[in-house]
Amino acid sequence: MADRRVPLTEAENLVEAFARRLDASHVGGRLGRLVTHIRSLGAKNFSGGKPYEAEEWIYNLEIYFEMMECTQVELRKVTTCLLEGDARFWWDTIKRVTPPPLLELMQWAEFKEKFLERFFPQVEMDKKEQEFIQLVQGKMTVIEYETKFTKLSRFAPHMVDTPDKKARRFIGGLNSNIRRLVTGRGITYEEAVDRALTQEEENQKYRAEKEQENNTKGKRSHPAPTHKNAQPWKQQKGRDGNRGATSSANRGKEVAKPPVRCFNCGGTGHMASTCSQPRRPFGSCYNCGKLGHFANQCNEPKKVNNPSARPVQLNAIVLEDVVLEGTLEVYNTRATILFDTGASNSFISSMFVVTLGLTPVALDRFLTISTPLQKSVTLNKVCLSCPIKVVDMKFPTNLIVLPMGRFDVILGMEWLTQYHALIDCYKKTITFSVPSQPTQEIQCFIPRKPLTTGILNHLETKSSDLLLNQIPIVNSFEDVFEKITQLPPKREIEFSIDLEPGARPISVTPYRMAPKELKELQTQIKELLSLGFIRPSASSWGAPVLFVKKKDGSLRLCIDYRQLNKVTIKNKYPLPRIDDLFDQLRGAQIFSKIDLRSGYHQLLVKEGDIAKTAFNTRYGQYEWLVMSFGLTNAPAIFMDLMNRSF
């Protein structure tokens, strides 16, 4: 007779596993010891609160977990022991709706995903990403800026996933008096931080020396004037906010900014990243290149560098020139564009170059940009063949990199001439008549208030939409345009799905999707879950999903309910006839319309029919609590709701 006894080792394993579960069920067991240990490391309870507090709490827990030896399930159990208040109520709800076997096996990663969906949703993560994109040093020290940069960078990992991108992003946010002296060829993030700290220290020393010099010697001035009407020279603030030495005769006139000074050789007209001279020792004098003193203490003659430069006119602020402002796409990214007939070339903002991640190339010679206000700057970088999208066509052009704040791109006569642009001031349009290509027209709008700069305030293509906050009447009724944030109330009717006799549940395998579509699918599912429009499902029904591209390039989530519609009894509620509607409008002179936001989602699905709306995805099965698009009786039920409501 075969021996049916369990081997001793297996029996011991079973007993040990049972003992572990029994031990973990008591506060004084292993679970209790783990909770005590993590609290001794500094972990705190979480009761809810602001979204960023939830993310920081999870972030700190993961640091503590690195110092603990336990399974992923134990990590989840330890974490739930630290929940209290609203967070505890949320977890109790999860426990009630999750089958006990699945709850017992739930690991840390799954819990973390559910937790962040509730307490740190995608919209909050997007806010943190936008905060990182807009981060600049401002009044912060380099250390404070670097700390905040590191803290926020984890919300935008795709922007710092390489050492070069991380360094360029960090340098781009530094103050100008530090940034232009930190930039260099192949500089790493650590080198950029070190250079910024060194330059900040040098700036502080320089300011301290100046203050000490002023305190001991007093304010410097020229000898007393010999003529009673003569006035001494003094520092005076010009219209651009910069201070320069001016006489009383020049008071109020624009003072030209000094040209860019090279961090490597001390010359002017170029930056260290394009310097052809050998690399000088870091921290040495900008003037002579020697160590031990600063440029203001140098006894050597000051270097004068006057590179051969070709002058270029930039007249974006002159009243006489025709200038239009608007928004077009550059590399599929919306950009603020200035059409300037007074500019001889086309330009792109240096910060916009960083945003697009472009790599400019060096020009064969320097360009000096000048304006009628005597401003000038020397440039030598260009971005080649940048596509400017006008309506449905792309017009490539070379854009010279120029530091500017208000505009992302300036398109001058070179570009306007190349693409046969015709500006009609009376009709306020720009027409592009490129040979062998369809004519494209852009409509301009004159601002309501007169401008002292001569720049039109707004430009729109015929296919673009106005923003709501740009329409005055809309601002008086902001509550009408609020987005839906919760389930609609119960109404007089509910959406039902009546099946033909003998119909059996139908479930279709999910369609294959590209990686980009899968990412968008995950995002839209999370958004619908957060609104409460859908919920996880275990239905025997299931329809596949797919994406349809909208006019603006975004993706619309569509559910293929064709198989369900085949076995659904059709609702015969009459839809309106167009000629009847026209008869009702006979004699009317003033018309109005209402456009509901997600109109179908204003109606709840009947409780017994929710399971029939289920759809299958790569990330699980879900079912609708509100009426979905694509269902055969949706238009009829919606028309019934409209007739009852209006």
Predicted confidence (pLDDT) per residue in 175-230, tens digit: 887 876 676 666 788 888 888 888 888 778 777 777 777 776 555 444 444 444 43
Pairwise CA distance, residues 216 & 415, whole Å: 57
Looking at the DSSP bridge assignments, the partners of residue 67 are none
Q: Sorting pLDDT into bands at 50, 70 and 90, what band is 616?
A: very high
Predicted confidence (pLDDT) per residue in 561-571, tens digit: 999 999 999 88
Q: How far are the Cα atoms of 260, 345, 354, 394, 569 from residue 293, in angstroms, in the given order?
A: 22, 42, 34, 54, 90
Pairwise pLDDT comparison (4 vs 559), residue with the higher score:
559
Q: Pairing state of beta strands 309-313 and 361-370?
A: parallel
CB–CB of 172/351 below 8 Å? Answer: yes
Least confident segment among 36-45, 255-264, 288-297: 255-264
Calculate the CA dihedral of residues 155, 158, 163, 165 and round it to 10 degrees. -100
What is the pLDDT, as a whole number, of residue 224?
Answer: 44
Residue reference for tokens 């572990």: 20
Backbone angles phi, psi at 50, to 5 degrees: -75, 150
Backbone angles phi, psi at 343, to 5 degrees: -90, 130
The contacts of residue 436 (CB under 8 Å, 6+ apart) are: none
**In this structure, is the dihedral angle defined by the CA atoms of residues 378, 262, 405 and 165, taken in order, positive or negative?**
positive
What is the pLDDT, as a whole number, of residue 536?
Answer: 92
pTM of the entire predicted model: 0.31
Backbone angles phi, psi at 147, to 5 degrees: -65, -45
Structural domains of the chain sorted by starting position, each given as residue range(s) with its CATH number in brackets: 18-120 (no CATH), 125-191 (no CATH), 311-464 (2.40.70.10), 515-581+593-645 (3.10.10.10)
Question: How many other C-beta atoms lie within 10 A of the C-beta of residue 383?
Answer: 22
Pairwise pLDDT comparison (63 vs 243), residue with the higher score:
63
Backbone angles phi, psi at 395, to 5 degrees: -115, 105
What is the pLDDT, as a whole number, of residue 128?
Answer: 82
CA 15 to chain centroid, in Å, comes to: 54
User: How long is the chain?
Assistant: 646
Structure token digits, residue 582 = 């026209």
| Average pLDDT, rounded, for the chain | 73
What is the pLDDT, as a whole number, of residue 564?
Answer: 93
What is the pLDDT, as a whole number, of residue 450?
Answer: 36
Phi-psi region of 152 (alpha: psi -120 to 50; beta: other; left: phi over 0): alpha
Q: Sorting pLDDT into bands at 50, 70 and 90, what band is 490?
A: confident
Pairwise CA distance, residues 431 & 339, whole Å: 12
CB–CB of 429/444 below 8 Å? Answer: yes
Task: Classify 101 as helix, strand or coil.
Answer: helix
Tell me: pLDDT of 519 over 70: yes
For the chain, percent of residues with pLDDT exceeding 70: 68
Tell me: pLDDT of 295 over 60: no
Tell me: pLDDT of 66 over 90: no
Pairwise CA distance, residues 195 & 273, whole Å: 14
Residue reference for tokens 């979204």: 51
Structure token digits, residue 627 = 């009426």
Predicted confidence (pLDDT) per residue in 525-549, tens digit: 998 888 888 999 999 999 999 998 8
Q: Sorting pLDDT into bands at 50, 70 and 90, what band is 560?
A: very high
CB–CB of 400/367 below 8 Å? Answer: yes
CA 104 to chain centroid, in Å, comes to: 39
What is the pLDDT, as a whole number, of residue 611?
Answer: 92
Pairwise pLDDT comparison (242 vs 548), residue with the higher score:
548
Q: Sorting pLDDT into bands at 50, 70 and 90, what band is 615?
A: very high
Phi-psi region of 175 (alpha: psi -120 to 50; beta: other; left: phi over 0): beta
| DSSP run (H or E) holding 36 | helix 30-40
Q: Give the Cα-Cα-Cα angle 494, 561, 565 (nearest 5 degrees).
A: 70
Q: Sorting pLDDT into bands at 50, 70 and 90, what band is 422?
A: confident
Task: Classify 460 as helix, strand or coil.
Answer: strand
Structure token digits, residue 612 = 């029939």
Tell me: pLDDT of 246 over 90: no
